[in-house]
Amino acid sequence: MSLLSSSVSITCYKVSGEIQKPVLDTIYSGLARHTIQSIDDEPMEKTIGWTSFKNPYLPDFEGSSFVIGPYLVFSLRLDKKTIPANVIRKNVAVETAKQLNRSGRNYLSTNEKKTIKDQVTASLSRRIPATPNVYDLIWNMEGSRLWFFSNLKTANEALETMFLKSFNLTLIHLFPFTIADQVLGLSDPDRDRLVQLEPTKFSEA
């Protein structure tokens, strides 16, 4: 989801850990190492990597192009090939018939059936282009805060993994408990009280 869309969803994170200096060089190298690679013409079904906010289909991080004012702005791209189940079924049936014909038998073993299915899926994957999904992020380094422009669980999990792999920094997901515990500056006695809290009943029903 683009951060410039007319309607957006935001998931907030706190960035935990020390980034190696010089900071921009470290970020550039993390982005470059994990830039999205095209899987069109490849047998792979999906891939994940970083891409440029300004040009998500031709990633380029040269010249600190990911810096906008005090923020770092780039995107996570998830490319996935979706092969309709009916297409796989049809091609498996055709290949199965050919193999039975060749072997002169009237049945195939479980292993043979699996091999045919794997070969068909790989062959179709090579021919089908991947559908890209781009999710922008804004990283405020000064405040150690990051906004990710998606609430989708799969996209957020991919972000957390990729961020750790690329920059050796942990993203702490901010939700009611972690906001209270780590963002609001509560005193130690209040943080102790926080962990003891139990649900309130607003009704006698």
Partner 1 sequence: MLDVAVSYNRYKFLGDEFLTWLWFVMEKQPEALRETDPELKSLDVGNRIVLENHRNHTKESITIKGDQAGLEEGTLALWKGALVTELNLVYKSGSHEWRFSVKGENLHLSGLKTPQTGPVENKEDMEGAVLEKVFLYEKALALIYNLYNLFIRLRLAPKWKNEVVPQIKNWILSQQSN
CA distance 29 to 26: 5
- In the set 105, 114, 127, 193, which binds partner 1 (CB under 8 A)? 193
Q: For residue 200, how many other CB atoms are within 10 A of its CB?
A: 5
The reply on whether position 23 binds partner 1 by CB under 8 A is: no
Report the distance separating Cα 63 and Cα 67, nearest Å: 9
DSSP 35: B
Q: Give the 3-state secondary structure of residue 185.
A: coil
Element (H, E) at 72: strand 71-80
Exactly one of 102, 110, 188, 195 binds partner 1 (CB under 8 A); that residue is 195
63 lines the binding site for partner 1 (CB under 8 A): no
Q: Which of 54, 64, 78, 159 binds partner 1 (CB under 8 A)?
A: 54
Of 48 and 174, nearer to partner 1 (C-beta) is: 174
Strand partners, 135: 76
Copy the structure tokens of residue 9. 């969803």
Please state, as a whole number, how many other Cβ atoms lie within 10 Å of the Cβ of residue 100. Answer: 14
Closer residue to partner 1, CB minimum distance, 8 or 100: 8
134 contacts partner 1 (rule: CB under 8 A): no
Output the CA–CA distances (angstroms, integers) from residue 135 to 71, 106, 138, 191, 195, in the order listed.
Answer: 16, 50, 10, 34, 34
Piece in contact with partner 1 (CB under 8 A), picked from 21-29, 33-41, 111-119, 192-200: 192-200
Q: Restricting to residues 74-133, name those near partner 1 by CB under 8 A.
A: none
Contact stretch for partner 1 (CB under 8 A) within 64-72, 77-85, 92-100, 114-122:
64-72
User: Taking CB under 8 A as the rule, does residue 7 contact partner 1?
Assistant: yes
What number of CA atoms fall less than 13 Å from residue 80's CA on the CB side? Answer: 8
Based on the shown chain and the rule CB under 8 A, indicate whether residue 19 belongs to the binding site for partner 1: no
Beta bridge partners of 136: 75
Q: Does 161 bind partner 1 (CB under 8 A)?
A: no
How many residues at the interface with partner 1, by CB under 8 A? 43
Q: Does 141 bind partner 1 (CB under 8 A)?
A: no
**Going along 33-84, which residue ranges are E strands?**
46-52, 67-68, 71-80
Choose, by CB under 8 A, the member of 10, 58, 116, 118 that binds partner 1.
10
User: What residues make contact with partner 1 under the rule CB under 8 A?
Assistant: 3-4, 6-12, 53-54, 68-69, 71, 73, 138, 147, 151, 172-181, 183-184, 186, 190, 193-195, 197, 199-205
